[in-house]
Amino acid sequence: MATAKLQKMEKIWKGQDVHTKVRILKSIIFPTATYGCEAWTINKTDSKRITAFELKCYRKILRISWTEKIRNEEVLIKIGIKTPILLQSIKKLKLTYFGHIKRHQTLEKHILEAKMKGKRGKGRPTRRWENDIEEWLETSTSQAGRLTSDRETFRRRVQEATSETDEPTERERERVEV
């Protein structure tokens, strides 16, 4: 759906101001692409696809053809960011939702904390929703749940887990422009 919306906005992408196009992209296309992302289980393949979609959008804004040999790093610098931000925003939304679930007595909390009776099936266990939380916060789900009771501490941990978005330096911008 987000790709279709990106294609429909062809006239806007032909404009000159990159800053305005990035703001439109972040306010219209990215929310469409990430709708319901709080419930996703993200594995390595999914994270690569999310990053590829984001870079595809940036290339569309900059009007860079897929046949041109321009590296992803150069595209990000031309846009004005250091690392892709879509995956980081998904992480932040998911961690914030986790904190919300753990602080309130809701059906979601009971489902999240429930244990199934019986034996599990053969083979490798599938990646669960909680695995993302454990990986990103670098702690167990139960300890992360205790962290949520103190909102300020939890917000700080979420910020640390998702703080890979830095603006490029002036030197990096000059290197691309030359």
Distance of CA 32 to the CA centre of its chain: 13
- Tell me 105's DSSP state: -
Would you state the pLDDT for residue 165? 43
Residue with the larger pLDDT of the pair 115 and 31: 31
Give Cα 35 distance to the centre of its chain. 11
Q: What is the mean pLDDT of residues 40-49?
A: 92
pLDDT tens digits for 111-154?
777 777 888 888 888 888 888 989 999 888 888 888 888 889 99
Stretch 6-33: mean pLDDT, rounded? 87
The band of 94, judged by pLDDT with boundaries at 50, 70 and 90, is: very high
In a 3-state reduction of DSSP, which class is residue 124? coil
- Residue 165, CA distances (Å) to 12, 133, 148, 159, 172 in order: 26, 19, 24, 11, 15
